[in-house]
A and B are shown apart, each in its own frame.
Chain A
């Protein structure tokens, strides 16, 4: 029972990362935009959904929850969930509007910096977020209802599977749609796409906003699965774990994105058991952060190794073969 509960929690988390990876798939996999601040959208989604669904101040439920926060709207969780996507999408729209025109490096650093600004706002505005203390008692949909409490994680997993399935189906459709094709055209050759009349900046902005919205939905899923939200959860390494998941799964393939997140979670969770290796025990006693740090060293090594030896990922992008006939690719011309 304990093991299966652990696996259920792990799979839920992996699927939530899968949604975030789908967002990055739209932004980087299709549009080629270097978003190094993905965690900001995740955080905004989590806080939006938590604050909107918490019981309003002064209500009975507020007192029962210990009354630690200033804002609570008491919306039903599904509405709060949608609002989380909207809020994160709007933030992405705002950030994107200032930076989609930046060239790749500037975009990477600008998004990275903006994620830090968001984190610093969430940390310092503790009237809203309770800063480092965090908010507990975030409502969990259906908890305390007809489902027995020890089966609740299974029910939440089921809910997550359904939500992620829908989001994946939508993303697959988007990827194959004219919108997805135009994005790939912009990614592969922006000048050529512009010459064909594709509004490159507008397309990238839309992809960026949609990707941000997906990360926001992932944040909402996460906060309601834990019932807790605090700033310390949203560190920059999350962004790069999502990058690793995307590169591992295969850039440009939405199914690969979700699969990559699941594989990544399996691998990183496996490293948790490094703490049980007897060889490390004296070192752990000397330095409690030895094994946790070792796990991050392994994540770093994986990033390097995947990029170098496995650049196409588990499920490489599927491109439609060129139509038969007169059209030839430049390589064929050269040959």
Chain B
């Protein structure tokens, strides 16, 4: 009973991290219309910088917040340097550039921190206990943080002026510009938000995985892609739904079908969905 409960709760935590990361990825896709292959490296960067900040004696929550801001700024700077100048040249140059950027960032992390795994500095948390049942705190915490963050993104998109401008730009960039929306500012904000969410995703991934490796973000990216494509690219709400399916798919596949094929099962699910609905479950923009 405890085993099943724990499997489910860890599965939910994985799903929540995928979900949050997928939201950040779809935000940038919604406004720029290309899939950012370097997004995973921002997760890696978030996790590693948090370790650095904690090693300087900062408490973990404060470190995570500061890293979100720093990675957000890094995201804007990288986009200014690499993506914005070729934004008008169609998606192929953007796609290939993002792959190149991913290899650069991933290996810069490897050059700085080495290839061997680093331990995420998570303080020991005792599980909650109810009679015979043990409820581990970390996955619950991960789920709660991810839900709060996604709720914040939802409120921002729905009600704030910037959120409305982002949605308008995503719907129709030309029309948005014609009606006086400063698309450059919207773009910068989107990059900041997307990167900051990635950093938080990286911290949460670090909390669930404990061992950090330079390749962690790149490998996790595939799972995030699966969620994003399942839900329909560019739609954060679809991404949340997709992530739930992928998270459950990985857990159920690994537990009941073949333990070595958890991720492969998620991709197979993705392929099946794409065959039936080639544009994902919920299509369109947000």
Point out residues on A near B: beta carbons under 8 Å: 34, 98-99, 101-106, 108-110, 112-114, 116-117, 120-121, 123-124, 237, 240, 243, 247, 287-290, 293-294, 296-297, 299-304, 307-308, 311
| Complex A-B, nearest 8 residue pairs according to Cβ-Cβ distance, in ascending order | A303-B100, A300-B103, A300-B104, A293-B107, A304-B100, A293-B110, A296-B107, A113-B267
With contacts defined as CB atoms under 8 Å apart, how many contacts are there between chain A and chain B in the complex?
123
A307 to B96, CA, bound (A): 7
A102 to B106, CA, bound (A): 29
B222:A105 contact, CB within 8 angstroms: no
A294:B263 contact, CB within 8 angstroms: no
B34:A294 contact, CB within 8 angstroms: no
Cβ contacts A to B, 13 pairs, < 8 Å: A106-B229, A106-B274, A108-B95, A114-B271, A240-B99, A287-B111, A289-B111, A296-B103, A296-B107, A304-B82, A304-B96, A304-B97, A308-B97
Known: A105-B95, A108-B95, A301-B104. 17 other contacts (CB 8 A): A98-B275, A103-B278, A104-B91, A105-B34, A110-B270, A113-B271, A114-B271, A116-B264, A121-B264, A297-B104, A297-B108, A297-B111, A300-B102, A301-B100, A304-B101, A307-B96, A308-B93
B115:A289 contact, CB within 8 angstroms: yes
In B104-126, the 8 Å CB interface with A consists of 104, 106-108, 110-111, 114-115
A113:B222 contact, CB within 8 angstroms: yes
Please pick, from B35, B96, B97, B275, the residue contacting A109 in the complex, using a CB distance under 8 A.
Answer: B35
B103:A112 contact, CB within 8 angstroms: no
Please pick, from A34, A124, A294, A302, the residue contacting B107 in the complex, using a CB distance under 8 A.
Answer: A294
Q: Please name all residues of chain A whose beta carbon is closer than 8 Å to the beta carbon of B264 when the two chains form the complex.
A: 116-117, 120-121
A102 to B115, CA, bound (A): 37
Of listed A34, A99, A109, residue having the most chain B CB within 10 A: A109
A113 to B229, CA, bound (A): 11
The secondary structure that dominates the A interface is: helix
Q: Please name all residues of chain B whose beta carbon is closer than 8 Å to the beta carbon of A311 when the two chains form the complex.
A: 93
A112:B261 contact, CB within 8 angstroms: no
Q: Please name all residues of chain A whose beta carbon is closer than 8 Å to the beta carbon of B103 when the two chains form the complex.
A: 237, 240, 296-297, 299-300, 303
Please classify how large the interface on chain B is, using the bins under 10, 10 to 19, 20 to 34, 35 or more.
35 or more
B91:A105 contact, CB within 8 angstroms: yes
A121 to B264, CA, bound (A): 8
Q: Please name all residues of chain A whose beta carbon is closer than 8 Å to the beta carbon of B93 when the two chains form the complex.
A: 307-308, 311
B148-184 near A? 1/0 per residue, CB < 8 Å: 0000000000000000000000000000000000000
Point out residues on B near A: beta carbons under 8 Å: 34-35, 82, 85-86, 91-93, 95-97, 99-104, 106-108, 110-111, 114-115, 222, 225-226, 229, 233, 258, 260-261, 263-264, 267-268, 270-271, 274-275, 278-279
B222:A108 contact, CB within 8 angstroms: no
A294-B111, A302-B100 as given contacts; A113 in contact with B270, CB under 8 Å: yes
Please pick, from A108, A116, A120, A303, the residue contacting B35 in the complex, using a CB distance under 8 A.
Answer: A108
CB closest residue in chain B, given A247: B96
CB closest residue in chain B, given A241: B103
A112:B104 contact, CB within 8 angstroms: no
CB closest residue in chain B, given A105: B35
A113-B222, A120-B261 as given contacts; A300 in contact with B267, CB under 8 Å: no
Q: Please name all residues of chain A whose beta carbon is closer than 8 Å to the beta carbon of B267 when the two chains form the complex.
A: 113-114, 116-117
Of listed B34, B35, B279, residue having the most chain A CB within 10 A: B35
A299 to B107, CA, bound (A): 10
- How close is A124's CB to chain B, nearest CB, in angstroms? 4
A34 to B34, CA, bound (A): 13
CB closest residue in chain B, given A294: B111
Q: Please name all residues of chain B whose beta carbon is closer than 8 Å to the beta carbon of A108 when the two chains form the complex.
A: 35, 95
Q: Please name all residues of chain A whose beta carbon is closer than 8 Å to the beta carbon of B99 when the two chains form the complex.
A: 240, 243, 300, 303
B97:A303 contact, CB within 8 angstroms: yes
A58 to B4, CA, bound (A): 46
CB closest residue in chain B, given A296: B107
A240 to B263, CA, bound (A): 22
A120-B260, A304-B82 as given contacts; A110 in contact with B271, CB under 8 Å: yes
B222:A110 contact, CB within 8 angstroms: no
- How close is B112's CB to chain A, nearest CB, in angstroms? 8
B225:A112 contact, CB within 8 angstroms: yes
Q: Please name all residues of chain B whose beta carbon is closer than 8 Å to the beta carbon of A123 when the two chains form the complex.
A: 260
Q: Please name all residues of chain B whose beta carbon is closer than 8 Å to the beta carbon of A294 when the two chains form the complex.
A: 107, 111
